[in-house]
Amino acid sequence: MHPFSDNAALTIASLGEQKLLAKIRRWLGAAMPAAPHGMGDDCAVLPASPKRGAGPALLTVDPVIYGEHFDDAIAPRAVGRKLLARNLSDIAAMGGHPEAAVVSLALDPRTRLDWLEAFYRGLAALARQHRVPLVGGDLATHRGGLVASLTLLGRASGKRVLTRTGARAGDFVAVTGVLGGSLASGHHWKFTPRLAEGRWLAARPEVSAMLDVSDGLAKDLHHLVPAGAKPILFSELLPRRKGCDLCAALTDGEDYELLFTVRGTPAKAARLAADWHHAFPRVPLTIIGRLADHDAPDSGALDLAPYHGFEHFK
Amino acid sequence: MHPFSDNAALTIASLGEQKLLAKIRRWLGAAMPAAPHGMGDDCAVLPASPKRGAGPALLTVDPVIYGEHFDDAIAPRAVGRKLLARNLSDIAAMGGHPEAAVVSLALDPRTRLDWLEAFYRGLAALARQHRVPLVGGDLATHRGGLVASLTLLGRASGKRVLTRTGARAGDFVAVTGVLGGSLASGHHWKFTPRLAEGRWLAARPEVSAMLDVSDGLAKDLHHLVPAGAKPILFSELLPRRKGCDLCAALTDGEDYELLFTVRGTPAKAARLAADWHHAFPRVPLTIIGRLADHDAPDSGALDLAPYHGFEHFK
């Protein structure tokens, strides 16, 4: 069967990413466990077996693709670095530490050696910095294309894994760093994955759920909001990158900042922020709003409905 | 930097796979541990930490790519099945069992939904059969291409991991099943990964090294031969698929059979073969030769030099 069709109604473009993911869940059936042990969080969580003394294992995979994630204007060293960095950000989002990576490369035979060398050197430099051994991989021929996919195995720092599920109405919403303009500023090539910050947050019992912002806050925040609740954000509180307007901060994506919820009183949330600024004096942490019951009044709150983050396959 | 060049001398095609792998090792430097903890075996072996009670973890990744591994003539169900099967074969080759898989898909937006559904259903059917949970993955846009990459996490059954390193002069060489004609016969779409067989062999202390034959015996055997030794094979002993000549059995590749070495006397090797036939009465096991000192006489032995297995990027 030819895998492609020019009749859009027959193709994945007719669905978009979310509906496609729902279909894949159905197609996989019993072969795919429920999140966080299967699809649906930043990493898959492999339950700690009684035989193993350590915390649960984490598994995540993300690619970089020529013509989609990078083009001829980008230094190959930055491409290799980003391939690892975006996977490290997924481990950070669950409060884990990275243990080992494998890289799968699909390459045109005409791929330049100097391009590939710089790619691997960029990857290796970040791997050494975070002490992640690159333990293997695969090379395959792919005429006309260049797809690099990295799988990262990690482990939760304690017995607790901080997932996207766990928030409830009343929890505060907070975010690290600043949002927006990642592509224009080059932040997405240079960012430092928030690994230490993620582990610090996972060790605080009042932090109830977390993810890393990759498709824009307006889209990713929905993953943290439980049924029957809604987010009440105040637009003036949103930490924006210099030169970014509200729309950019909400929808640009590729921020690789940690978005999380905090259980408790306003004093408790303020205490967390104070402790954070002591631990990470150079990384902003901002409480940007709160989760409320679905039927609570919206007075002054930001309406997220007009804002859409990055949608794949559209 | 544009990643491709029409000047062949600048490209990976000028090197071929083996020299390219050697370069990658150098580029990665300290970020890549030595085999089997890094590149160079069927899976990467992650050392068992004292904190974990279980055996070492195994990590492997392999893709299927449209235009390279499959075309329009192939049922998408078979493509999904093979993506998992070839990774399972790598776990089998180290005597392990599979624990969890993640799938990374790079897809043209014009990808047909019915193609993708059949692909996932084929993958899920084999996953259920081997009780491998598909715990997650990634979907990304890749205009004009279709690359599916699966990463499989496994675990050694005991404390021992059977690697490619461990054979020495005097060891017998043995292979499971029959060789050759995998592409022509469709074996590579239908094969059952030798997981139970691999675990059985890893539990026998006289089995000294093992791999799965994917690029053809003539090429893959070299990985088992230590420095200062050479293989002495007898062509009449090679188990060939019906209709295959010697060259096909040695070089066709994609056999996904286990090739291993056995330490000890001829009587000990014969005993292993007898026990095997009791345990796996429907799977042939054939002792096809022996490793000898490099300066031993070659009387009657098969000269492998003219035979080359599958070479990538050529």
Give residue B3's pLDDT.
79
Residue A299 DSSP code: T
Average pLDDT over residues A79-89: 96
**B113 contact residues in A (CB cutoff 8 A):** 10-12, 14-15, 23
Residue of A nearest to B21 (CA): A139
ipTM at complex level: 0.87
Q: Does residue A185 belong to the interface with chain B, where contact is any CB pair within 8 Å?
A: no
Give residue A29's pLDDT.
73
pLDDT tens column, B92-132: 999 999 999 999 999 888 888 888 889 988 999 999 999 98
Of A26-30, A60-64, A275-279, A287-291, the least confident:
A26-30
Give residue B288's pLDDT.
96
Q: Would the pLDDT of B40 be above 70?
A: no
Spatial CA neighbour of A84 closest among A163, A46, A38, A137? A137
pLDDT range class, residue A130, cuts 50, 70, 90: very high
List all residues 6 or more positions away from A135 whose beta carbon is below 8 Å from its beta carbon: A100, A101, A102, B32, B33, B37, B38, B39, B44, B46, B59
pLDDT range class, residue A170, cuts 50, 70, 90: very high
Query: C-alpha B283: how far from its chain's center?
Result: 18
**A6 contact residues in B (CB cutoff 8 A):** 110
Average pLDDT over residues A11-36: 74
Burial B165-189 (b: 16+ CB within 10 A, else e): ebbebebbbbbbbbbbbbeebebbb
**A8 contact residues in B (CB cutoff 8 A):** 110
Q: Would the pLDDT of B82 be above 60?
A: yes
C-alpha triplet A100, A88, A268: angle, nearest 5°: 125
Measure the CA–CA gap between B244 and A9, rounded to whole angstroms.
45
Phi, psi of A194, rounded to the nearest 5 degrees: -85, 55
Give residue A69's pLDDT.
92
Q: Would the pLDDT of B53 be above 60?
A: no
- Assigned fold of A49-156: 60s Ribosomal Protein L30; Chain: A; (3.30.1330)
Count of alpha carbons within 13 Å of A205, Cβ hemisphere only?
Answer: 1
pLDDT tens column, A60-80: 999 999 999 999 999 999 999
What is the DSSP pairing of strand A57-65 with strand A134-141?
A: unpaired
Average pLDDT over residues B227-254: 94
Give residue B5's pLDDT.
83
Give residue A314's pLDDT.
57
pLDDT range class, residue B217, cuts 50, 70, 90: very high
Give residue A83's pLDDT.
96
Phi, psi of A25, rounded to the nearest 5 degrees: -55, -45
Which residue in the set A4, A33, A68 is minimally distant from B112, CB to CB?
A4
Average pLDDT over residues B263-282: 96
Omega before A36 cis (within 30°)?
A: yes
Longest dimension (CA), chain A: 61
Measure the CA–CA gap between B309 and B314, rounded to whole angstroms.
12
Our CA-based measurement puts residue A249 at a distance from the nearest CA of chain B, in whole angstroms, of: 23
Give residue A290's pLDDT.
95
Q: Does residue B14 belong to the interface with chain A, where contact is any CB pair within 8 Å?
A: yes
Query: C-alpha A168: how far from its chain's center?
Result: 21
CB-based contact B100 A29, cutoff 8 Å: no
Give residue B213's pLDDT.
96
Give residue B313's pLDDT.
61
pLDDT tens column, B125-181: 999 999 988 888 888 889 889 999 999 999 888 778 899 999 999 999 999 999 999
- Assigned fold of B55-159: 60s Ribosomal Protein L30; Chain: A; (3.30.1330)
Quote the tokens at residue B47.
């050392």
CB-based contact A100 B17, cutoff 8 Å: no
Give residue A47's pLDDT.
64
Q: Would the pLDDT of A49 be above 60?
A: no
Give residue A217's pLDDT.
96
Q: What share of chain A is helix, strand, coil (3-state, %, to 5)?
A: 30, 25, 40
Q: Would the pLDDT of B52 be above 60?
A: no
Contact A121, A83 (CB under 8 A): no
Measure the CA–CA gap between B246 and B218, rounded to whole angstroms.
11
pLDDT range class, residue A311, cuts 50, 70, 90: low
Q: Does residue A133 belong to the interface with chain B, where contact is any CB pair within 8 Å?
A: yes
Measure the CA–CA gap between B159 and B170, rounded to whole angstroms.
26
List all residues 6 or more positions away from B37 whose beta carbon is below 8 Å from its beta carbon: A133, A135, B44, B45, B46, B47
Give residue B297's pLDDT.
83
Query: Which residues between 42 and 61 in chain B have a beta carbon less than 8 angstroms from any beta carbon of chain A?
Result: 43-44, 46, 49, 51-54, 57, 59-61
Our CA-based measurement puts residue B292 at a distance from the nearest CA of chain A, in whole angstroms, of: 31
Give residue B39's pLDDT.
65
pLDDT range class, residue B274, cuts 50, 70, 90: very high
Q: Would the pLDDT of A54 be above 80?
A: no
Average pLDDT of chain A, as a whole number: 88
pLDDT range class, residue A53, cuts 50, 70, 90: low
pLDDT tens column, A224-260: 999 999 999 988 899 999 999 999 999 999 999 999 9
Average pLDDT over residues B223-240: 93
Average pLDDT over residues A96-103: 91
Query: C-alpha A137: how far from its chain's center?
Result: 23
Contact B288, B175 (CB under 8 A): yes
**H-assigned helices in chain A:** 17-28, 76-92, 113-129, 182-185, 187-190, 195-202, 217-220, 246-251, 266-279
Q: Does domain A172-293 correspond to CATH entry 3.90.650.10?
A: yes
Of A44-53, A199-208, B65-74, B262-271, the least confident:
A44-53
Domains B55-159 and B172-293 share a fold: no
Contact B212, B202 (CB under 8 A): no
Which residue in the set A68, A128, A314 is minimally distant from B142, CB to CB?
A68
Measure the CA–CA gap between B133 and B122, rounded to whole angstroms.
14
**H-assigned helices in chain B:** 17-28, 76-92, 113-129, 182-185, 187-190, 195-202, 217-220, 246-251, 266-279
**B141 contact residues in A (CB cutoff 8 A):** 65, 68, 312-313
Spatial CA neighbour of B195 closest among B84, B286, B271, B288? B84
What is the DSSP pairing of strand A258-262 with strand B57-65?
A: unpaired
Domain parsing of chain A, residue ranges: 49-156, 172-293
Q: Does residue B189 belong to the interface with chain A, where contact is any CB pair within 8 Å?
A: no
**B100 contact residues in A (CB cutoff 8 A):** 44, 46, 59
Give residue A109's pLDDT.
84
